[in-house]
Amino acid sequence: MGLLALLKEDIRNIFAKDPAARSTFEVLTCYPGLHALWMHRLAHALWKRSFHWLARFTSHVNRWMTGIEIHPGATIGRRFFIDHGMGVVIGETAEIGEDVLIYKGVVLGGTTLQKGKRHPTLEDGVVIGSNACVLGNIRIGAGAKVGSGAVVIKPVSSGDTVVGVPGRVVHGPSVPKPLPGDLRHADLPDPVADAIRILLNNIEELEKRTYRIEDTCNRLEVWRQEELDALKASREHIRTDWLDANRAPEPAPAGNGGDHLG
């Protein structure tokens, strides 16, 4: 593909992925993600021809102009779009496929000081939400989605959706209704909200059990009091019967008309 055709494709890609784009002139002058991509292509070409310092300096100017830092060694495919790209960092050995979309603050970083492949590989159609970090020499499968703020340190299969810290898969190809390709953040599962909901359900169940225990204790207390009253009455009855049975007979009264000596 010729250079002019490639530039036109980049502009059409922005119109396809950003409903806020209104005119070609606006896209050409007001989209730092587009500027960063074009400058990276220049820096990458210099890097491959071993003009390493000049490539790094071009990348440095790119960061100063756009707020987006892309190492000139990174490999980026066609129709790549950085939307609201301030703070994006893409490492030296990162590999990005075609039709990839990332948002502001995304980091494709390394996890080792060793040279060699140490940054992620994003396959075609990957979407990464704002402020997400994908770290290490891992592969994010085609069509996968990474939610905003997630930290991904393990490979992700094609079509999966990852959220949270550390990242965990919450949707995949086996789900009947996968998330839309444009990564509607409102439709992403919220693991924190899910955890709170589970805790609230557990608290409600514990409260019910507590009420049942209190009710049982109250009934036992009433039964215990009734048993104590009955036991006291029985003891009093036994005591009375015993006293009646062992009471000494009263002596006979002395007579008034005894014999008289005359």
| CATH class as words, domain 74-188 | mainly beta
Token pair belonging to 19? 């409903």
Residue ranges per structural domain of the chain: 74-188, 190-240
Q: Is-contact 163 177, C-beta < 8 A?
A: no
pLDDT per residue over 94-115, tens digit each? 999 999 999 999 999 998 888 8
CA-closest candidate to residue 125, choices 191, 42, 182, 202: 182
Measured distance CA(16)–CA(9) in Å, rounded: 10
Ranking 28-42, 62-76, 162-176, 179-193 by mean pLDDT, the lowest is: 179-193
CA 192 to chain CA mean position, Å: 5
For residue 179, pLDDT beyond 60: no
Pairing of strands 133-135, 139-140: unpaired
**Phi, psi of 108, deg, nearest 5:** -105, 90
For every residue of 71-100, DSSP letters joined together read -TT-EE-TT-EESS-TT-EE-TT-EE-SS-
Cβ burial 159-198 (10 Å sphere, 16+ → b, else e): bbbbbbeebeebbbeeeeeebeeebeeeebeeeeeeeeee
Measured distance CA(132)–CA(146) in Å, rounded: 7
CA 172 to chain CA mean position, Å: 16
Other CB atoms within a 10 A radius of the CB of residue 150 amount to 23
Give me the pLDDT at residue 174, please. Answer: 39
pLDDT per residue over 137-160, tens digit each? 999 999 999 999 999 999 998 888
Give me the pLDDT at residue 195, please. Answer: 81
Q: Is-contact 93 109, C-beta < 8 A?
A: no
Q: Which residue has the tokens 């036991």?
A: 231
